[in-house]
Structure formats: structure tokens, C-alpha cells
């Protein structure tokens, strides 16, 4: 299907910030940052990137598509894992260079390729005397 | 103060994902994406970038410092607005190319330079017949 979606650049900063037309600012690699938040737990699941086609497909299908920078390929999240992200709400930030997706996750409800529920499974623990910064695993949430 | 913080690159993908040493992957511009979440409301407040110095200062001071790409300057969030972000928790994602900050906001508790509580104050509304995508303002949350 040829998409007829257009993303015209905003004519000025005021329109970009206060206007009611989507005018995403893709960076010099043609990408925009996308943050996915779980609609139920409200956890930040992952941060990835979209190119124009991924954003178009996300808008048209209401499933999250991303652009994999490492594989240089369009990517339907969950296509192999079953962790399809159904998009319930799409937000854009003030200067329209970041997308926020509120999603419901299919399959086992997870997100991260390491098997964790989300990608942010480590927190900064402490700064050591030799100047390195140690991490610790975040205790998985129990669903109470 | 000269910082002695070191961010050694992870020796391999396994260490990057499962290791307990912070080894942030800065991009070709020397930046890493940072997402700030409000510790109380759990709203995603903003998405910005940090260079090595901003990350170091954030770790050392427990206040959020960013790198402004437009102003090409280090930036203590809230320095002029009073909306200082006190960092309660710092997470890193699986491939260590994104930082998640859980913050408490001082001043009026807001974040966005437009005066809103957070930067994601518009949602995708609909795709019009001419192919443009319209937005609508998110109704501000009432604190009930």
C-alpha cells in the first residue's frame, strides 16, 4: 500500500510547539527518537528510533514499527517474539523531535531482547574510588 | 573540580548487557539520549541528550545536567527556571545507549519551556483525507 501521509515541516518554531499538525523533526540520519511506555504498568519499556516509514506504518497500523540502526532495517516490534506493541496513544514533544508511544504489549508482555520485561533493568549503584560507576539489577516488579 | 569518573567501553556485547559497570555508548556526536520521568506522577517529562560531561555532572551532583544541541552548551536543568531535577534513580538500558532518570522537580514542578508540566502535551488525533496528521492537546491532569 502506498501511503499518502505527509509530514510537512512546521513553518516556524511557534507552529512547531503550539500547532496542531504533526511536523516531526527527523535528525540528520532521518531518524526520530521514540519512547515506549507500558499503558498498564506505566514503565518505560524501551527507547528506539523511527525513520519516516516506521512512523508512517506505526500511525497507519497502530502497531509500533521502528528502524533498527544496527541492522539498518525496518522492524515490526514483536514480529518474531510475539511482543507486538499495540499503540493506544501517540504523543509528540514540544519541538517535535521525540515520539512517546503508550502501548499494550502482546505475547508474554515483555519487551527486552535479553528476556526482561523492559530494557531499563539496571540502575546506577555507586561511584567507586577508582572512578568507575557500578550498576545493580533492579529487582523485578511483582504484579500485586 | 576535576572529575576522575571513567566510562570504559564494555569489552563485548555480553558485558554491555549483563555487566555491572556503567559503559555508556555515546553516539557519533558524543551524545547519549536521556529520558526524565517524574518520580511522583511517573509521567515522562522530557527527552534530551547528555554528553560525557553532562553525565558526569549528573552522577556527581545528583541533579540533571544535559547538553543542549541547539545552544551547544552544557545545561543545568532548572538553573534559570528553578525546575531543578533532583535525581532519585538512574537506569541504563540493555545496550547502554539510553539513560533513564527518575527525578523530583523543584520550583513549580514543571519541566517544559512552553510552561506545561511536561513536554508531551499533544497527542496524535487523526489522519486527515489529505494525508496530514492532526494533533490535539492532552487535557492537563488534575492532581486528585
Task: Report the complex ipTM.
Answer: 0.93
Compare all CA atoms of chain A with the CA of B4 and give the residue at the minimum distance. A131
pLDDT value at residue B142? 57
Asked whether the beta carbons of B127 and A13 are under 8 A apart, the reply is no
Residue B143 has a pLDDT of 53
Coil, helix or strand for B55? Answer: helix
Cell of A59: 500511525
Sheet holding A44-50, edge to edge: A44-50, A32-38, A98-105, A85-92, B122-127, B133-137
pLDDT number for residue B116: 94
Q: Would residue B43 count as lying in a domain?
A: yes
Does residue B137 belong to any structural domain of this protein? Answer: no
Note down pLDDT in tens along chain B; length 144 residues: 557 798 888 889 999 999 999 999 999 999 999 999 999 999 999 999 999 999 999 999 999 999 999 899 999 999 999 999 999 999 999 999 999 999 999 999 999 999 999 999 999 999 999 999 999 999 765 554
Distance from CA of B78 to the nearest CA of A (A): 17
Low-confidence ranges of chain A (pLDDT < 50): 144
Residue A93's domain comprises 13-113
- Per the domain annotation, does A99 fall within a domain? yes
CB–CB contact A91 B123 (8 Å): yes
- As for how many domains chain A has, the answer is 1
| Within-domain flag for B4 | no
CATH number at residue A64: 3.10.20.810
Residue A68 lies in a domain: yes
Decide if B5 and A134 are in contact by the 8 Å CB cutoff.
no
Instruction: Output the pLDDT for position B1.
Output: 52
Torsions phi, psi for A94 (to 5 deg): -55, -50
Domain for residue B139, yes or no?
no
pLDDT in tens, A30-68: 999 999 999 999 999 999 999 999 999 999 999 999 999
> What per-residue confidence (pLDDT) applies to A144?
47
Helix (H, G, I), strand (E, B) or coil at A18: helix
Name every chain B residue with its beta carbon within 8 A of the beta carbon of A6. Answer: 130-132
Domain-embedded: residue B6: no
Whether residues A98 and B47 touch (CB distance < 8 A) is answered with yes
Evaluate whether residue A2 is within a structural domain: no
pLDDT of residue A139: 74
- HSE on the CB side for A128, CA within 13 Å? 10
Continuous H helices in B6-138: 13-18, 52-61
Alpha-carbon span A95 to A18, nearest angstrom? 9
Amino acid at each position: 500500500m502506498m501511503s499518502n501521509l505527509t509530514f510537512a515541516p512546521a513553518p516556524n518554531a511557534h507552529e512547531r510547539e503550539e500547532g496542531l499538525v504533526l511536523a516531526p523533526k527527523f535528525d540528520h540520519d532521518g531518524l526520530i527518537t521514540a519512547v515506549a511506555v507500558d499503558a498498564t504498568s506505566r514503565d518505560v519499556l524501551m527507547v528506539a528510533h523511527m525513520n519516516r516509514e516506521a512512523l508512517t506504518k506505526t500511525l497507519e497500523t497502530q502497531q509500533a514499527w521502528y528502524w533498527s540502526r544496527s541492522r539498518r532495517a525496518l522492524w515490526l516490534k514483536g514480529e518474531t517474539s510475539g511482543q507486538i506493541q499495540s499503540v493506544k496513544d501517540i504523543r509528540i514533544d514540544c519541538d517535535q523531535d521525540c515520539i512517546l508511544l503508550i502501548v499494550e504489549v502482546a505475547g508474554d508482555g515483555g519487551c527486552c531482547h535479553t528476556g526482561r520485561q523492559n530494557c531499563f533493568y539496571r540502575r546506577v549503584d555507586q561511584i567507586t574510588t577508582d572512578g568507575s560507576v557500578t550498576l545493580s539489577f533492579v529487582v523485578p516488579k511483582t504484579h500485586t
